[in-house]
């Protein structure tokens, strides 16, 4: 069984990647542009549901494309259709952009004449994934920015404020506590090497932008956070929510359970991806979905019960959608709880550090003022 191409919103490492995907631009600069596959699907679905044929819809979409990359892609699809290919075959030629999910959906919709409806569901699924991704990343972005600002304030105090008093106090002969002496000596050393210190502080302040602005940074952050038990469980449930939502989308598009689960498996990461591949193998051999999930270690009783209900009533797609929604609600609840708990604690820690620096700086000055009097 061949491995499906990655879902367009997930990279090879299971990262919470963007919905927009890279597309080589035909411009002479050689730089890569980006297109939004959800916007493409939404726009094409609207034109098709308005009654336009596929070729006319693509021509209209190309005329009002949101970017040169989108116009170039639509032009490629238009040429492929004029050469006699179906839309699914044209999309399959650019699996690097669209992925297997939309290709399979369009291929199934071409047989049932509900292409516009399938594209609408597909774009809605991508938009929901994009919104959840922003929520997950946003929960980590705010603390990162607070830490960066706190580091800059602490660095300013240690490099430029404390050294103005350090030399005077250290050579005054007054009694200085070990903690104050350590702070003053540290600030003097940082001030002497202030060029290097400023570079380090700027690099630390830029770290959140590098982490959240690059694919490598997001992968590193994701792997680091996944080692934390609570956050790792939240990320796992986030991926499972996307898996069940994607599988539901494919089932409603007319694909079989085996093919739907096979295509949706790529949104998972690590052990869960291997488990779902095992589920696909068991389904291929004739086992039912609930039994295959349980045999591969998916032991959430709520998930298994809903899948069993879906199998008996013929509503597996709806039950998969319900499971995805429940898991998303759980992820959102945990993010809200963690945000309400962690952000005040982070502000408290930074405030205590800055307050300690100010106190340790001014206590020797007060001692010196008392000695002079």
Domain that holds residue 41: 20-120
Neighbour-count burial for 4-20, b at 16+ CB within 10 Å, e otherwise:
bbbbbbbbeebbbbbbb
Q: Is the pLDDT of residue 140 over 90?
A: no
Check residue 322 and give its pLDDT. 92
Mean pLDDT to the nearest integer, 54-69:
83
Residue of 288, 302, 182, 189 lying closest to 241 (CA atoms): 302
DSSP class of residue 35 equals: E
Under a CB-based contact definition with an 8 Å cutoff, are residues 77 and 87 in contact?
Answer: yes
Band of the pLDDT at 278, cuts 50, 70, 90?
A: very high
Q: Please report whether residue 24 resides in a domain.
A: yes
The backbone region for 30, taken as left when phi is positive above 0, alpha when psi lies in -120 to 50, beta otherwise, is left
Q: Please report whether residue 191 resides in a domain.
A: no
Q: Please report whether residue 95 resides in a domain.
A: yes
Q: Please report whether residue 13 resides in a domain.
A: no
Specify the CATH number for the domain of residue 77. 1.20.81.30
Cα–Cα distance, 271 to 284 (Å, whole number) = 20
Cα–Cα distance, 57 to 176 (Å, whole number) = 79
Q: Please report whether residue 78 resides in a domain.
A: yes
Hey, is 191 helix, strand or coil?
Answer: helix
Q: Is the pLDDT of residue 9 over 60?
A: no
With a CB cutoff of 8 Å and minimum separation 6, the contacts of 347 are: 146
Q: Please report whether residue 80 resides in a domain.
A: yes
Mean pLDDT to the nearest integer, 8-25:
34
Hey, is 34 helix, strand or coil?
Answer: strand
% helix, strand, coil for the chain, step of 5: 80, 5, 20
Looking at every residue in the chain, the average pLDDT score rounds to 78
Cα–Cα distance, 276 to 3 (Å, whole number) = 12
Cα–Cα distance, 55 to 80 (Å, whole number) = 10
More confident residue, 138 or 373: 138
Q: Is the pLDDT of residue 224 over 80?
A: no
Question: Which H helix or E strand runs over 24?
Answer: strand 20-24
CA dist list (Å): 255 to 85, 125, 151, 247, 324: 21, 16, 53, 9, 18
Secondary structure (DSSP) of 74-88: HHHHHHHHHTT--HH
Maximal CA-CA distance, the chain: 97
Residue of 336, 333, 308, 335 lying closest to 323 (CA atoms): 308
Q: Please report whether residue 32 resides in a domain.
A: yes
Give the HSE-up count for residue 89: Cα atoms under 13 Å, Cβ half-sphere. Answer: 8
Cα–Cα distance, 211 to 216 (Å, whole number) = 8
Check residue 187 and give its pLDDT. 86
More confident residue, 169 or 48: 48
Cα–Cα distance, 159 to 320 (Å, whole number) = 57
Q: Please report whether residue 238 resides in a domain.
A: no
Residue of 9, 3, 1 lying closest to 263 (CA atoms): 3
With a CB cutoff of 8 Å and minimum separation 6, the contacts of 355 are: none
Check residue 2 and give its pLDDT. 41
DSSP class of residue 36 equals: E
Check residue 297 and give its pLDDT. 85
- The total of structural domains in the chain comes to 1
């Amino acid at each position: 069984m061949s491995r499906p191409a990655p879902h367009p919103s997930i990279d090879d490492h299971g990262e919470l990647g963007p919905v927009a995907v890279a597309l080589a631009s035909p411009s002479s600069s050689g730089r890569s542009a980006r297109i939004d596959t959800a916007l493409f699907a939404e726009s094409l679905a609207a034109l098709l549901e308005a009654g336009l044929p596929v070729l006319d819809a693509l021509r209209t979409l190309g005329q009002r494309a949101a970017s040169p990359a989108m116009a170039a892609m639509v032009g490629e699809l238009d040429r492929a259709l004029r050469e006699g290919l179906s839309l699914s075959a044209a999309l399959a030629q650019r699996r690097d952009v669209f992925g297997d999910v939309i290709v399979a959906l369009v291929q199934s919709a071409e047989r049932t004449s509900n292409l516009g409806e399938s594209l609408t569901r597909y774009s809605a699924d991508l938009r929901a994934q994009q919104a959840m991704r922003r929520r997950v990343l946003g929960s980590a972005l705010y603390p990162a920015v607070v830490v960066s600002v706190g580091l800059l304030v602490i660095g300013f105090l240690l490099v430029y404020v404390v050294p103005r008093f350090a030399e005077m106090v250290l050579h005054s002969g007054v009694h200085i506590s070990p903690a104050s002496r350590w702070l003053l000596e540290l600030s003097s050393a940082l001030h002497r090497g202030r060029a290097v210190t400023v570079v380090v502080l700027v690099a630390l302040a830029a770290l959140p932008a590098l982490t959240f602005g690059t694919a490598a940074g997001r992968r590193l952050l994701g792997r680091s956070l996944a080692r934390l038990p609570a956050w790792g469980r939240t990320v796992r449930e986030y991926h499972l929510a996307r898996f069940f939502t994607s599988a539901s989308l494919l089932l409603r598009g007319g694909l079989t359970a085996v093919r739907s689960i096979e295509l949706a498996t790529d949104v998972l990461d690590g052990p869960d991806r291997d488990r779902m591949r095992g589920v696909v193998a068991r389904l291929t051999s004739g086992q039912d979905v609930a039994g295959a999930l349980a045999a591969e270690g998916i032991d959430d009783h709520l998930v298994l019960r809903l899948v069993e209900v879906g199998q008996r009533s013929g509503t597996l797609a709806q039950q998969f959608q319900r499971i995805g929604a429940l898991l998303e609600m759980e992820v959102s609840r945990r993010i809200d709880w963690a945000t309400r708990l962690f952000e005040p604690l982070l502000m408290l820690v930074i405030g205590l550090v800055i307050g300690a620096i100010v106190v340790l700086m001014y206590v020797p000055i007060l001692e010196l003022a008392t000695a002079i009097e």
